[in-house]
Amino acid sequence: MSKLVPGQRLHQRCVCCCWNKLCNFNYCRIFIFLVVTSIAFIFFLAVYTCKPMGHSCFGLTDGSPVALSYYDAFLMGKVFKHNFSEAVLNKERRLNLEGEDVLIYLHIQKTGGATFGRHLVHNLDVDFPCECKAHIKKCVCVTRNSRRWLFSRHATGWMCGLHADWTELTDCVDKWFKRNDVKSRKHRVYHYITFLRDPVKRFLSEWQHVQRGATWKAARLHCNGRDATMEEVPFCFTGVDWSGVPFDEFMSCKHNLAFNRMTRMMANLSKVNCYNRTGLTDDVVNEILLKSAKENLEACAFFGLVEEQQKTQFLFEKTMGLKFIDNFRQKIKTHVSRLEITEEMTKKVVEKNILDIELYQYAKDLFLQRVAYMERKLGYTVDEYFNHIRDADDAGDDDTEEVDVDEYGDEDDTDDDIDDDGVDIYPGKNTTAGGEIPNSSTVRLNSSR
């Protein structure tokens, strides 16, 4: 084989580099520069293209390296893999309920939250369990030193308003405790916990609940020192309630608070001027609400998923350092499961709840990553915990008995019932000099929504 002269060597390099098109070395360098620049441009374009609401460029949890919308991933039963820091994944703490620690339960409608609320008052293995009596809606949950350790519907009643959201609770809770807790307790650390649910099933469950006559009529929608007005959030119906409302009519009311309820209830509504959105576009409001809801969800001491009862119990027990007496059960049949849901109905619900879709997808990935992190940290899986380890730990507890908390009981709950002793006046509510609530026909107080 004959040797290549210098000119032939240069030509060969150019052929390899430029695919038989460019034969000048400088052109080769320009070609490579353009290729690298194009790749970088496409990358940054993809990042910014996927930023708007409902999209992500993260790979799927099954390893698929594809950029899809949260909408598409949700319908496929997939979730995106986010890059969470260890500080976000590891929420482990050891509570001192006799000391400064207090559990605050944010109960979102139709998330299986009433069942979890009952677990907290009936099924939690603590040194000072709640005292509950038949036919009395509230239990007494105090320590030996009379310190309240749980703030929830079943422990205190709706003291910050019916189904108070994050905005209402964070404004109200500390004020309420300062008035109602023992004076010897000078400082408290509030640990917020909540539950989420598949947004389509949650929405359909709310529709059915409203069909049965629910209105949550005592809800205040309190924000920035006042309740929302009728002009800001008009009712979707006239009369006492919306009983028997057809699906299409329920979907057609643009003021329906069922839309994106989880996002709204987890977000800081003060960031979007509460329910008065004058001067703000929907896109701006949605982006702010979703970002705030994700941040608050991350900051919660714990959140569970109704679709993952066993993993929820495992993560709660290992994160909070508290155990339940009886294991959670995964309910298969609910009112929603008995519905004949068409593909068109599902599509309509998803399109109207795109914020909740993204929040739930984000939450589901965070939840599953926290479970996996805890499994790695402990050296055993959720299944191993329930099949062997937990039973061994409980072997010495002879006084343990099974507890029935009526799984997913909120499917039939009339949550809008007010406690027999009435609803306490919201500590942050504007009042007259005499302490009475201002008389205004525009305030949504004790009215259907």
CATH code of the domain covering residue 131: 3.40.50
Verify that 33 and 94 share a domain, yes or no: no
Domain count, the chain: 2
95 and 241 inside one domain = yes
Q: Are residues 116 and 21 in the same domain?
A: no
Mean pLDDT of all residues in 32-54:
57
Q: How many CB atoms lie within 10 A of CB 95?
A: 18
15 lies in the same domain as 106: no
- Tell me, yes or no, whether 418 lies in a domain: no
Report if residue 240 sits inside a domain: yes
Does residue 291 lie in a domain region? Answer: yes
Does residue 156 register a pLDDT over 70?
A: yes
**pLDDT (tens digit, 9 = 90+) per residue, 289-325?**
999 999 999 999 999 999 999 999 999 999 999 999 9
294 and 236 assigned to the same domain: yes
Could you report the per-residue pLDDT of 335-378, keeping only the tens digit for each?
Answer: 776 788 899 999 999 999 999 999 999 999 999 999 999 999 99
Q: In this structure, are 227 and 274 located in the same domain?
A: yes
What is the share, in percent, of the chain residues with pLDDT greater than 70? 73
- Residues 182 and 299 placed together within one structural domain of the fold: yes
What tokens were used for 122? Answer: 């009936």
* pLDDT surpassing 50 at residue 421: no
CB–CB of 447/233 below 8 Å?
A: no
Q: Is residue 294 part of a domain?
A: yes
pLDDT at 376: 98
Pairing of strands 189-196, 222-223: unpaired
Same domain for 151 and 18?
no
Is 171 domain-assigned? yes
The answer to whether residue 120 is domain-embedded is yes
Same domain for 112 and 183, yes or no, is: yes
Whether 57 is in a domain gets the answer no
| pLDDT at residue number 184 | 87
Active site residues: 163
Q: Do 36 and 147 fall into the same domain?
A: no
Residue 105 sits in the same domain as residue 26: no
| Helical axes 199-211 vs 343-352, angle rounded to 10° | 100
User: What is the pLDDT, as a whole number, of residue 78?
Assistant: 87
Q: Is residue 428 part of a domain?
A: no
Same domain, 255 and 329: yes
Range of the domain at 14: 6-49
- The pTM assigned to this predicted structure is 0.79
- pLDDT for the residue numbered 124: 98
Residue 30 tokens, joined: 């320009």
